[in-house]
Amino acid sequence: MNFLEERILKDGVVKSCNVLKVDSFLNHQVDIALMEEIGREFKRRFEDTPVTKVMTIEASGIGIAVFVAKELGVPLVFAKKSKSINIDGDVFVAEVESFTHRNKNQVVVSKSFLHAGEHVLIIDDFMANGCAMQGLISIVESAGATVEGCGIVIEKGFQIGGRVIRNMGYRVESLAIIDAMDADTGSITFRKQA
Ligand code: 5GP
């Protein structure tokens, strides 16, 4: 069992059959030592790729992506959720359905901060149905940049996102993959990874 799986078992709370709360250490209160370890682990997994930029989506991806970008020594850009319906031509846009809020947001990245020829590592805290990741991938591709990979802290392997993104041909590295969880017993089963 790796450092993250141990922490999820210790402090994660299964809220329902498909929602895990990790807000005591990952996305509300933040354990900085754990973040540093996550940053080092993503560096280890992606240092064979020519990453020039880390990208994530606000809000909960940002804290994690900061540590990954620091380890890789590259800038971080995060996609912003935009309420404006009159989005101008200075941004790349994608529509993303929020898993937690069940609404749709347009997310935008300024064209000033993402360019053709860049090599992008996309980071997020969770993968569920893969909507956030598909939105970020489409933004990177509309810029003419290359997706070097997707780094996910917690993939819920019983939801479709991981399979969809891998089937699209992208490299997905998840630090923990949950194959099953039970809100009644609180039990969490991880997929064995090499
Ligand atoms: P997806 O777009 O893959 O359906 O969902 C990913 C996004 O939803 C992540 O950015 C994350 O913020 C949120 N999310 C998905 N599943 C969970 C979960 O079980 N717990 C928490 N805290 N957030 C989740």
The helix/strand/coil state of 174 is strand
Which of 13-27, 80-94, 110-124 bottoms out in mean pLDDT, i.e. has the lowest?
Answer: 80-94
Looking at residue 64, its amino acid is I
What's the CA-to-centroid distance between 165 and ligand 1, angstroms?
Answer: 15
pLDDT band at 85 (very low <50, low <70, confident <90, very high): low
Supply the residue whose CA is at minimum distance from atom 19 of ligand 1: 19
Nearest CA to ligand 1 atom 8: 99
d(CA 32, CA 29) in angstroms, rounded, equals 9
Distance from C-alpha of 130 to C-alpha of 117, rounded to nearest angstrom? 25
Q: Are 54 and 120 in contact (CB under 8 A)?
A: yes
pLDDT higher than threshold 80 for residue 71: yes
What total number of domains does the chain contain? 1
Domain holding 177: CATH number?
3.40.50.2020
Question: Is residue 10 assigned to a domain?
Answer: no
In a domain, 140, yes or no: yes
Residue 66 has pLDDT above 90, yes or no: yes
- Full-prediction pTM beyond 0.75? yes
Q: Tell me: the pLDDT tens digits for 113-135?
A: 999 999 999 999 999 999 999 99
Q: Residues with Cβ within 6 A of ligand 1?
A: 19-21, 27, 60, 99-100, 124-132, 161
Mutate which of 17, 125, 137, 159 for ligand 1? The one with the most ligand atoms within 8 Å of its CB, which is: 125
Residue whose Cα lies nearest atom 16 of ligand 1: it is 128
Please indicate, yes or no, if residue 117 is contained in any of the structural domains: yes
Give the domain extent around 61: 35-181
How far is ligand 1, taken at its centre, from the CA of residue 35, in Å?
18
Please indicate, yes or no, if residue 129 is contained in any of the structural domains.
yes
What is residue 78's predicted lDDT score, i.e. its pLDDT? 98
The DSSP string of 80-133 is EEE--S---TTEEEEEEE-TTT--EEEEEEEGGG--TT-EEEEEEEEESSSHHH
